[in-house]
Amino acid sequence: MLKAHSCMTAIWRHTMSIIPGVTAMHHSLGSLRWRSRYRPAPLLSASPARALIDEQISIQGRFLPPHSAVTVCAHMHSEDGDLWEAFSHYNTNEDGTVNLNRDYSVGGSYVGCEPMGLMWSLQPAPGAREGLRLRKKNVEAPYVVNLSLLEGHVTPSDGSTGEGCGAGPLAVSTVERWYMTPGVRRIDIRQNGIVGTLFLPSGPGPFPAVVDLWGMGGGLVEYRSALFASRGFASLSLAYFGHKDIPGPLNTINVGVDYLRSAYHLLQDRPEVCEERVGVIGLSFGVFMSLQIATQPDLKPKCVICINGPIGEYWGSGSPFKRATLVSEKCPCRITFTQRTVKVMRKIKSHTNILPIPNIQLQSLQFYINHMSLQLENLTCPILYIVGEDDLSCASKENANEIEEALRSAGKAQLFTRLSYPGAGHLIEPPYSPNARTALWTVKPKKLITLWGGHLAPHAAAQENSWNKMLHFLDCNLRG
């Protein structure tokens, strides 16, 4: 065996002496690979690939030419099949990378360093139906967002192929955006006349809880409640208007304070809920409903959050609260009770005259301040009122002022906290949700477009900041 090994060694040495340069080439193979002009294929990554809707993701492009122009796109289909898209222009660094957490967009759907810009700037693709608003219906499935990396500073396609953002991407990636974490339980509530959906966090509980109320769009809106449960709060999304399981005409509010009281007690009585740690949150007309609960002496929630909503009710015949009809197209702007509200309405009218939406009537669902509607002096819990200063649907600043003044007069000024956001509109929702400045309200008897207000970038900033402040507010008042 030793002799055979010696022979092979001699043959190898002989070969090396016959073929000059082979040894040098053998030792330089590794360095030759790194000196090659070839590089790995471009890569687009998004991490985490599955995340809650309120979580940031990190989007990066790598293995690109240094100092080159690229476009990063996002596109997704809503549950109704409509294509939404966003895009932004970047220039790669000297190492051939682009990182949305670090780098500045120089054009497209947004500009500046906006790590989640591709999410909050999503808008209907060119040629889409008029008046679209993105709202999640099935919270047990995610939004699936497709990301693309394109060469050069380009504009997306018109979406006619359903793929968006042009052809021939350098790299692609996909992310899932969820409202529910694994383990959250969704329970339909049809009990004692109450119509809602209860979301319970993972685990045995008991949990702090919130009653979640939306506005005059009606129906049962679940996605905010699902997200609250994902953050550790039991949440009852409560329908009170425009739902087939609530008796009476769909275009009227057919329930009163007793309905709200029963829903509150139903939530308290759940074994998974800590009955002494229940709060209320309302958006738009849901603010009025939330304050109805909070001012009842026998309920006493621990806290209430109000987002761009009224302390008054629609002005109608009979009892407005029990029979509050929608504002009609013949009288969309009837104002009463305060001069400040009149001024806000004049501002809204000026906006309707310049919006470029032909052949569609615009309406403003303006809320009215009625000092007799609520006994605000009965409030005993902290209240967080969130104002979008570009709200075109509700005189939110004026309503916040009325609440603050009423509490100050009652010696309870310490209960009131206001968050006010320039450039934010009416629909302040969970973070990174696209804003709709206008949206379709109804198609019968004719198309009506509702004015919500809000500009994309400041509205997105308001949603992110207010959501974190809301979670902190709930933590302090329901857990502490």
- Output the pLDDT for position 4: 44
- The pLDDT > 90 percentage for the chain reads 69
Q: What pLDDT, on the 0 to 100 scale, is given for residue 313?
A: 60
148: annotated active-site residue? no
Over residues 24-77, the pLDDT tens digits come to: 434 433 333 333 456 799 999 999 999 999 999 999 999 999 999 999 999 999
Domains and CATH numbers, the chain: 43-178 (2.60.40.2240), 185-479 (3.40.50.1820)
At residue 168 the predicted structure's pLDDT band, cuts being 50, 70 and 90, is confident
pLDDT of 242-274, one tens digit each?
999 999 888 788 889 999 999 999 999 999 999
**Catalytic hit among 105, 212, 237, 426:** 426
The two tokens of residue 333 are 């702007």
Mean pLDDT (the chain, rounded): 82
Query: Does 426 qualify as catalytic in the annotation?
Result: yes
Of 13-22, 108-117, 340-349, the range with the lowest mean pLDDT is: 340-349
pLDDT at residue 442 in the model: 78
For the cut 50, the answer to whether the pLDDT of residue 1 exceeds it is no
pLDDT digits (tens, 9 = 90+) for 386-419: 999 999 988 899 999 999 999 999 999 999 999 9
Catalytic residue among 237, 284, 290, 466: 284
| Least confident residue range of 312-321, 328-337, 380-389 | 328-337
Q: Which residue has the higher pLDDT, 196 or 344?
A: 196
Q: Given this model, what pLDDT does residue 332 score?
A: 31
- Contacts of residue 338, Cβ cutoff 8 Å, sequence gap at least 6: 369, 398, 402
Those residues whose C-beta lies under 8 Å from the C-beta of residue 115, and which sit 6 or more positions away, are: 56, 57, 58, 59, 100, 101
Q: Running DSSP on this structure, what letter comes out for residue 476?
A: I
Closest by CA position to 62, among listed 41, 79, 85, 47: 41
For residue 449, the model assigns a pLDDT of 86
Q: Is 153 a residue of the active site?
A: no
* More confident position, 190 or 368: 190
* Helix H or strand E segment including 466: helix 456-474
φ, ψ of residue 462 to 5 degrees: the values are -65, -40
pLDDT digits (tens, 9 = 90+) for 338-395: 333 333 333 433 333 333 333 334 444 433 333 346 899 999 999 999 999 999 988 8
Mean pLDDT, residues 420-449 taken together: 91
Does residue 319 surpass a pLDDT of 70?
Answer: no
| Interior angle at CA 437, CA 431 and CA 439, nearest 5 | 105
| Residue keyed to tokens 């139906």 | 129
Find, among 155, 171, 145, the residue nearest to 43 by Cα: 171
Per-residue model confidence (pLDDT) at position 37: 59
Of 391, 393, 396, 466, the catalytic one is 391
- Reading the block at residue 392, the tokens are 């075109």
If one counts every other C-beta atom within 10 angstroms of the C-beta of residue 435, the result is 29
- Tokens 């790669």 belong to residue: 92
Whether 236 shows a pLDDT value over 60: the answer reads: yes
What percent of the chain has a predicted confidence (pLDDT) above 70? 77
254/113: higher pLDDT = 113
